[in-house]
Amino acid sequence: MDDIKIIHLPKYEDLRGNLSFIEEEDHIPFKIKRVYWIYDVPGGMRRGGHSFKIQQEFIVALSGSFDVEVSDGINNKTFQLNRSYYGLYVPAGYWREMNSFSTNSLALVISSTEFSENDYIREHSDFLKLRSL
């Protein structure tokens, strides 16, 4: 699971506030095809319990905090995201879930693919089968 990693982004600080940015194939290792965001998550809700066959993604907590749990079917890792100047790179082929959303949190997801339901593995048992587990 060493290919799942926190990537720190540039951060320009001055008296007017901070600025960070992301450029494809520079700060993140893929071309950007889609950006979506998750917000207004009611307390205790979990999102994104699934795997992707092809999609790579980079997840940033633009506001507030939440946890990203990633699993290869055997090992699990949990990353707490709570700053907008770093994010989590998740390659294809892992099971990932987002939970523990704080009030008013805003999760930005930058994706390497356009939306395709065919790219999702939504059943955990199918995920384990694909990983030969």
Residues that bind ligand TYD (CB under 6 A): 34, 36, 38, 47-48, 115
In angstroms, give the least distance from the CB of 35 to ligand TYD.
9
In angstroms, give the least distance from the CB of 107 to ligand TYD.
8
Q: Between 17 and 43, whose beta carbon lies closer to ligand TYD?
A: 43
Question: Is 8 known to be catalytic?
Answer: no
Determine the straight-line distance between the first and last CA of the chain, rounded to whole angstroms: 16
Residue nearest ligand TYD by beta-carbon distance: 48
In angstroms, give the least distance from the CB of 18 to ligand TYD.
27
Q: Between 85 and 100, whose beta carbon lies closer to ligand TYD?
A: 100
Catalytic: which of 8, 27, 50, 124?
50
Contact indicator for 34, 115 with CB cutoff of 8 Å: yes
Q: Between 19 and 54, whose beta carbon lies closer to ligand TYD?
A: 54
Instruction: Catalogue the active-site residues.
Output: 50
